[in-house]
Structure 1
Amino acid sequence: MGAVENPVDNKEYRIPGEAKEILKSLASKWEDVADASSLQVIPLKGAMTNEVFQIKWLTKTENVSHKVLVRIYGEGVEVFFDRENEIHTFEFISKQGQGPRLLGRFSNGRIEEFIHARTLSASDLRDPDMSALIAAKMKEFHGLEVPGPNNISLWDRLRNWLKTAKRLSTPEEAKAFRLDSIEEEISLLEKELSGDQSIGFCHNDLQYGNIMIDEETRAMTIIDYEYASYNPIAFDIANHFCEMTADYHTDTPHILDYSKYPGLEERQRFIRIYLSSLGGQPSDNEAEQLLENVEKYKLASHLFWGLWGIISEHVNEIDFDYMEYARQRFEQYWLRKPALLGSLGTNLDVVLADVSGWSHLFHENRGLDWYVSWG
């Protein structure tokens, strides 16, 4: 998941020497910078895959500064995506005028252009005017013709993440999350959702922290493409709807509030704006079919981020309760599946007993003890 701009400190730390040399070189090219070596480092809160910092140099003009963004890759997160592919995607999208420019690379991170725009907040996603802009921007993004294979990546990625989650999990964790049954669920979803559908270049992580708006021009920019790939557009929209339940700027950023999932009228409005944003006039049937597909792909989103949470708990040191986040996503999967797909051979009594049995998570001495109650 991407970074959310929210300065929380104003001291220099965690910036590798290699990156500092590149930053100094960049600043030396700006004639109005008073001292290229004198940089301010502002950690940006809300990143759950990388560490992200705003870098600022004061200029000879009062109250004027130059800014760039430094992204330090999280350790172990290469299990989620191919970093070189992500860099190529970043460069391509930048050349299309769709995102920030790449200013430099170092061994465990990169330096990006700092976009002078506001990162969206959780409440922005529910604002009708803002949501309309997001729908139109998403449609534009899905139309990007990014070089490389344009095959659906979702199912292979889910299976690869499942293998990794099983490898990293303790037996107790694997049992609590029913990991032995997830392979069957992935195959079931792939079969049920493999009909005629629209494929596009999807962001796959369109939470509010990955969307920025220029308040003057109302132009939107989508950032952070680590998880981007070709996928059914319904998956990307479903994932965005699921992100409306999150607020990563609270004291409990891992807690999801599913009462905030958009209602039918809100979802219909988003779908119609999305389909008509480039001048088309979608039929009622087209809009209804996409809406139905989006709701079903919500299940794939829950598995996607549930597995991500389990893996992240074992490879990422960012302060975030990944396991509780994963528990909520899996819980939603099992609870929503009967209504969206029917039972399809699943023993729902057993599943719901399991869901209600995931009752306790305790953190002691930074270790994780699982207590799975079956009563």
Structure 2
Amino acid sequence: MVDEEIDLFLNDFDKNQFKKDVEFLLEKIDFVKNQKFEIKKPELGLTNKTYFLKFEKINKILILRIDGENTEFYIDRKFEKIAVDFLSKNNFSAKIYLKFRNGLICGFIPGKDLKTFEMIEPKMAGKIAKRLAQLHSLKIDQIPEISSRKPFIVDKMFLYFEKAPKKFTNEKLQKEFENYFVKNGVDLDKNVEELVKMMEKCRPLFAIGHNDLVVGNLLYDESTDMLNFIDYEYVDLNYRQADIGNFFMGVVEISTNANYDAGYDSEGKRRFLKDYLEEFGTETDDLEREIDVWMSEIPVFEAASHLLWSFWSLFQAEHSSIDFDYIGYAIHRHQMYLKQLPTSFQ
């Protein structure tokens, strides 16, 4: 595990200084020290800025991540380092080579970003289900830093709700917020309360979860037939049902008018759960009945996913410099929460 953190706050506003600072960081990594490199433009992301570092004389690519502004208020970066080290040792994540004050440099995992139509195709869906089951099967009992934590979906629901601004400094954003949340009499406290009560009725099936399996975070390498998850910054203990429910809502492109019906239909979800439960080694005399129970619980966590990322997006609207309609996204996810929330749950 990388214990030392380089005392450097990196930004990319001044390109010349940025290149010098990256050179300084790479001098700390022995196998790329003194190597000429190229910085490729950042990939699209809604939390951080990510760059590819390509080296001239060695066949190696590294990933440079600059943490988004104020993300330390809702992402536990210290825990992320512990968890990613554990995942790296178990072949689930790229190795972190270096940490600096507001980011890291890690290894590169090859593969093609999977699009919605590819992820819902039965054969690929089966690969995803099995890989997720393998992740959830990792033994964390002997790692108290992970096993003792509160489930992500509950803990972060309260945290993101607390951090979400009630008033925005930007007048345009404030007006957009009021036009939906205030004029429609949205009671966010009640939303959280009723959702947490529903989650508490679900089986406490806890495991280490990715918690951000969305378009862009699943890669398939055709040459090795390997399916990998990337970007584990939200990794944490969680309900297994929550990680799956979030994934079901994450297979569509992130936008302010995303069509969540374009993802898995009921039959596709059942097939996914069958592959997942078989790979996980679920002990049951009646697999179809077990799938029925999962299908009754998953909608609760799909609704929770919508509400969680709605709160997250409200925070981002106030604090992020990334060009994205966070308010519009927060509104859309809240609308989907209302649509997805079960009318009754026993």
Shift of 1:225: 1.8
Q: Show the counterpart of 2:9.
A: none
Q: Structure 2: where are the runs of 5+ without partners?
A: 1-14
Conserved? CA contact 1:13–1:41, under 8 Å: no
Q: TM-score scaled by structure 2? A: 0.83
Conserved? CA contact 2:165–2:314, under 8 Å: no
Shift of 1:51: 0.3
Residues 162/13 of structure 1: CA separation in 2 closer, same or farther (3 Å cut): farther
Listed one character per residue, the Cα deviations across residues 272-297 of structure 1 (whole Å, up to 9, x for unaligned) are: 11100144465222111111111121
Counterpart AA for 2:331: R
Q: Larger C-alpha radius of gyration, 1 or 2?
A: 1
Shift of 1:307: 0.6
Map of 1:253-272 to 2, 5 A cutoff?
Answer: 253-272=255-274
Residues 152/343 of structure 1: CA separation in 2 closer, same or farther (3 Å cut): closer
Listed one character per residue, the Cα deviations across residues 126-167 of structure 1 (whole Å, up to 9, x for unaligned) are: 222111111011111112244321432322321221121144
Residues 330/224 of structure 1: CA separation in 2 closer, same or farther (3 Å cut): same
Map of 1:72-221 to 2, 5 A cutoff?
Answer: 72-146=66-140, 147=143, 148=145, 149-169=148-168, 172=175, 173=177, 176-177=180-181, 181-197=187-203, 198-221=205-228
Runs of 4+ in 1 over 6 A off after TM superposition: none
Residues 335/279 of structure 1: CA separation in 2 closer, same or farther (3 Å cut): closer
Listed one character per residue, the Cα deviations across residues 302-351 of structure 1 (whole Å, up to 9, x for unaligned) are: 100111111111111112111111111111122333xx22499xxxxxxx
Greater RCO (CA < 8 Å, at least 6 residues apart): 2
| Equivalent-residue separation in structure 1 for 2:115 and 2:225 (angstroms) | 15
| Equivalent-residue separation in structure 1 for 2:208 and 2:127 (angstroms) | 18
Counterpart AA for 2:315: I
Q: Show the counterpart of 2:53.
A: 55
Residues 294/18 of structure 1: CA separation in 2 closer, same or farther (3 Å cut): same
Conserved? CA contact 2:137–2:280, under 8 Å: no
Q: Show the counterpart of 1:321.
A: 325
Residues 112/13 of structure 1: CA separation in 2 closer, same or farther (3 Å cut): farther
| Equivalent-residue separation in structure 2 for 1:343 and 1:215 (angstroms) | 42
Shift of 1:91: 1.2
Q: Show the counterpart of 2:25.
A: 22
Shift of 1:69: 0.7
Q: Show the counterpart of 2:65.
A: 71
Q: Show the counterpart of 1:359.
A: none
Counterpart AA for 1:216: S
Q: Show the counterpart of 1:362.
A: none
- What fraction of aligned residue pairs are identical, expressed as a percent? 24
Counterpart AA for 2:158: R
Listed one character per residue, the Cα deviations across residues 61-91 of structure 1 (whole Å, up to 9, x for unaligned) are: xxx7321110111111122211111111111
| Equivalent-residue separation in structure 1 for 2:301 and 2:223 (angstroms) | 35
Listed one character per residue, the Cα deviations across residues 187-221 of structure 1 (whole Å, up to 9, x for unaligned) are: 21111221251222111110131122221222222
Q: Give the number of equivalent residue pairs.
A: 318
The RMSD of aligned alpha carbons is 2.6
Shift of 1:16: 6.3
Conserved? CA contact 1:19–1:106, under 8 Å: no
2:279 is the counterpart of 1:277: yes
